[in-house]
Amino acid sequence: MGIFERMEEEGHEQLLFLQENKTDLKAIIGVHDTTLGPALGGCRMLDYDSEEDAIEDVLRLSKGMTYKSAVAGEDFGGGKTVIWGDPEEHRTEGLFRALGRYVDAMGGRYYTGTDVGTKPEDFVLMRKETPYVGALPQEYGGGGDSSVPTAYGTYVGIKACCQYRYGDDDLSGRKVAVQGLGKVGLKLINHLLEDDVEIVAADVDEEKLAEARELGVETVKPEEIYDVDCDIFSPNALGAVINDDTVERLNCDIVAGSANNVLAEEKHGRMLADKGILYAPDFVINAGGMILVCDEMEPSGFDEDRTMKKTERIYDQLLSIFELAEDEDIPTQKAAKRVADRRMETMTVTGTISTSNKFF
């Protein structure tokens, strides 16, 4: 399928390819849907195996951000940036300032911030070129580490899953298999340990595994995490980890984690449901970081208490989605998208002008 065909099928508005030889910048910005407002989505930096992989990532992630914002009740659309490069080798001031100039040229159609492979300091550099960045350190007027509300929202979401699945959100004595010990994974583990949860964790980084073991967490090899007999499987690394192979290996009642695009394909949501596994849609449970960035853009400025209270709403949002999925006999991922689509349809019907018309 060609790029234009794929964009039409998925509803994308823009795909921008950026290259600057002197800074070694190779990046793609994807804008999915701006019905609710300007596109918003983080900037990911990975050493992709191919152009096709980078394009696939930016398309999937930007679409997910549209749904994330819509379900969370925020007035933003979905966007994403992917930088094709090794974060350890290609992260430079010149690269991020160049990217900032490209974002600035979009005139407020797209806002960005941290994601996998990027740091708040990168966006301090971008802020010198454009105001359209968020998740800045607190000393620069931002909300600080966006992984804090993301981890908290994931923890709250896990409690909601237990409430729906078991009739009780007390996590003590539960066993959770945590995949990924990055920005969010370790913070999530700390929340879970406070509730006396038994944890088994996996990561490809030995230093992170050592840090988890210091907390008393059992660790296993990355490929073994899918086979752990547990109550909850929590993916907190990269996407597409629920696929034809892994869905058959899971020994859990719940899948709930902070990773984006957890399902490799839509069919895997139905496969989880058919196995009796409750799935917390990723773009609902991991919305905390986006909520922080949206709060930075409030006229009154960032408010930490307001951000965390808005993040706590993930609990009730998930319960409503689970009930809708049960009532209509559809997978939870489809129910969550139905909630998002209904909100966007309502905004269109009531006369909201899409920002997609404002910058041409």
Q: From the candidates 80, 159, 187, 337, give the one annotated as an active-site residue.
A: 80
- C-alpha 308/C-alpha 314 separation (Å) is 10
Radius of gyration of the chain (CA): 19
Q: Is 80 one of the annotated active-site residues of the chain?
A: yes
Cα distances from 263 to residues 221, 240, 256, 260, 283, in angstroms, run 21, 5, 11, 9, 11
- C-alpha 279/C-alpha 227 separation (Å) is 17
Phi-psi region of 302 (alpha: psi -120 to 50; beta: other; left: phi over 0): beta
47, 85, 44, 49: which is closest to 61 by C-alpha? 44
Query: Per the structure block, which two tokens stand in for 91?
Result: 């992260």
Handedness of CA 91, 68, 145, 124 (dihedral sign): positive
Active site positions, annotated: 80
